[in-house]
Amino acid sequence: MSGSPLSGTPASHPALSFAGPVWLASDMHLGPDGPATREAFLAFLQAAAEGAAALLLPGDIFDAWVGDDELDAPAPWLQEVVAGLRAASSRIPVYLGPGNRDFLMGDQLAEATGTHRLAEPVTIRTDAGEFLLSHGDAFCTDDVEYQQFRAMVRNPQWQAQFLAQPLAARQAIARQLRERSMAEKSRKAADIMDVNRQAVEGALAAHGVTRMIHGHTHRPGREVFEMDGRRCERWVLPDWDLDDAADPRGGWLAIDRDGPAYHDIALDA
């Protein structure tokens, strides 16, 4: 097992600066199922390579990533995704950030795809100014059971023990956890699974910015609020599921000098 998981990246890091359009998308949850979502993502990568100066993917790109040795004998769907990322990253810088399902993405994946790793959270400087970028799960502090689980699985010692297990055993645990998570989510109150206002404001204040972008909650939209008399914005990225016949969805944010704008995958197709 080479490389260290993304969650091991240093907490302090310089802001990332970009000139030109920056595109952001998260929560594609790519895996062996979901061919339409994968196709849409691959088409999106091509469009980004043509239309964006940089592409940022802050987490849950994969439905579950149990270690970079997934790449030792990649399934066909994963080969396609790796090739797509590689093609895009040969033309524009592409960044992968850790989500709650793929925080074990590491250096080997970055190398195989030609991508860079995003710190969590990270300040980005764009033509429209600064934003704090995060997957978003860290702000869901009312979901106490999830935060306890998160603290456990983000512990480097715990990760080392997990990664020492055979790949097939880790994949089986991930499948169980996905099922457990879906059951837990149908039981939990909807409002505890959204971000907590104090957590959001604390993060903005700590990083000295007034705008943030995150995914995870699957509640796309823009919230405007005031903090200490200053106007703040929170932009939420949509999740993708083009295989859900009843509600096919997906999209991204593009930031240019006019600010962020939503693009709906169905409308842009």
Closest C-alpha to 92, from 23, 174, 194: 23
Residue 179 sits in the site that holds ligand LP5 (CB under 6 A): no
Residue among 23, 41, 95, 146 that touches ligand LP5 (CB under 6 A) = 146
Residue 260 sits in the site that holds Mn ion (CB under 5 A): no
**What three-state secondary structure class fits 261?**
strand
Of 129 and 221, the one with the shorter C-beta distance to Mn ion is 221
User: Tokens standing for 171?
Assistant: 């994949």
The Cα 63–Cα 258 span in angstroms is: 33
Helix H or strand E encompassing 112: helix 107-113
193 binds, among ligand LP5, Mn ion, none (CB under 5 to 8 A by kind): ligand LP5
Closest C-alpha to 218, from 131, 137, 105: 137
Residue 100 sits in the site that holds Mn ion (CB under 5 A): yes
User: Tokens standing for 118?
Assistant: 């995003």
Residue 153 sits in the site that holds ligand LP5 (CB under 6 A): yes
The sheet with strand 122-126 has its strands ordered as: 16-17, 122-126, 129-134, 211-214, 230-236, 221-227
178 binds, among Mn ion, ligand LP5, none (CB under 5 to 8 A by kind): ligand LP5
Residue 177 sits in the site that holds ligand LP5 (CB under 6 A): yes
Residue 196 sits in the site that holds ligand LP5 (CB under 6 A): no
Residue 154 sits in the site that holds ligand LP5 (CB under 6 A): no
The Cα 49–Cα 54 span in angstroms is: 8
Residue 185 sits in the site that holds ligand LP5 (CB under 6 A): yes
Residue 145 sits in the site that holds ligand LP5 (CB under 6 A): yes
The DSSP code for 8 is G
Closest C-alpha to 235, from 263, 204, 213, 205: 213
Residue among 25, 64, 132, 213 that touches ligand LP5 (CB under 6 A) = 64
Contact residues toward Mn ion (CB under 5 A) are 60, 99-100, 216
Contact residues toward ligand LP5 (CB under 6 A) are 64, 66, 100-101, 104, 137, 140, 143, 145-146, 149, 153, 162, 173-174, 177-178, 180-182, 184-185, 188, 193
